[in-house]
Amino acid sequence: MGMKKKIKYLIARKIIEKRRKKLDFDVNQVETYQLPNNAKEQDNNSFYFTGHANDGHRFLARLAFRGVGHVEVWFALFIPNKGLFNYKKNIDKPNNKGKNIFSSGPLTFTCLEPAKKWKIDFEGELEGDNNQILIKFEGIFSSDYPLINFSTDIHPAPMARSLSQEAWSKNFFAKLKESDQVHTEQCGKFEGNYTLDGNTVHLSMMALRDHSYGKRDWSFMERHIWIIIGLEDGSFFNFSLVDYPILRNLVTGFHIKKDGIIQVVDGSTFEGIWINRDSIPKEFTFFAQMESEERILANCSFDLSLTWIMDNAYSITEGLADFELLGMKGKGIAEFGKLIKNKT
């Protein structure tokens, strides 16, 4: 890093740290945020849950309320010996069910206790490779882990490094501010069940959830990688990389242990795992540099995946993945997103 970039890095880091001190993080407000009636077209309020069981069951569920009025609805369930089944639709409007309830079509999330407990309900048809199933799925996500706020809890160094690489201008900072979002994640467990063909199956899963709101222009992002892992010892990892036209190679992440101790990622090495963006890697290795200077090697592989196209502009592939790191096995999600060059 040259002298000019070093100075820019120090300035950027000071700005980030100063901004953090001013942020007012109201957990109840963030958890139950709803889009205002005068929301703009690209405003977004997105909720995401995923669970992974030792017996092979996995699920993911997402509701994204958009300023244009429609809702992006995802639900997927992998049933061992039966296959992967999913529901993905844009629904014209949300269900009107009341305060702290987020619902559209067959999927509903209910905030029972902010930062502690959520209920998930899905009842409807899921599509498989060669068949459809009618399913009722319900359960509780609960957590004793803290809610991770990406505006205040994530290491400032990666953001400052990315900022130092860009050409600064009044327009640059205006676009940066316009793209700002509130983003939280939480680790926990899911206890529930699903009923299929009259048979009810109990689920006990390690689980993770994500909530973000703010402007979401799918044609603005160039690519991203989002990796979330639950490990055998009850700890969880997050590694993320995103490229915007105004900010490239932004890396974030954290390692949270069962006792609540958080260590954040100071950098990750994803270079080489996604050189050919037309092909999603199903097996890869990457490194994470922690704030303690520990360097962690992680291996990822997945056979099961789903792909969604967002606003005819951006492709997202969700891999239901297995991991190895720190001498342990883990389960989670490896998500790859990329801008579609020939969008309509």
pLDDT at 65: 96
pLDDT at 154: 79
pLDDT at 132: 96
Per-residue pLDDT at 279 exceeds 90: no
DSSP alpha helix (H) spans, 128-217: 156-164, 170-178
pLDDT tens figures, 286-323 = 888 888 888 888 999 999 999 999 988 999 999 999 99
Render the burial of 114-136: b for 16+ CB within 10 Å, e for the rest: bbbebbbbbeeebeeeeeebebe
Quick one: DSSP state of residue 330? E
3-state secondary structure of 254: strand
Per-residue pLDDT at 191 exceeds 70: yes
Q: Are 46 and 67 in contact (CB under 8 A)?
A: no
Tokens found for residue 119: 């209920």
CA angle 71, 72, 74 (to 5 degrees): 135
Tokens found for residue 105: 């079509």
Q: Is the dihedral of CA 21, 24, 28, 29 positive or negative?
A: negative
pLDDT at 303: 92
Per-residue pLDDT at 274 exceeds 70: no
Highest mean pLDDT range out of 162-166, 171-175, 262-266, 311-315? 311-315
3-state secondary structure of 104: strand
In angstroms, the CA 185 to CA 187 distance is 7
What is the helix (H) or strand (E) element at residue 4, kind and residue range? helix 3-22
In angstroms, the CA 151 to CA 24 distance is 10
CATH class for domain 3-339?
Answer: mainly beta
Q: Are 73 and 61 in contact (CB under 8 A)?
A: no
Per-residue pLDDT at 343 exceeds 60: no
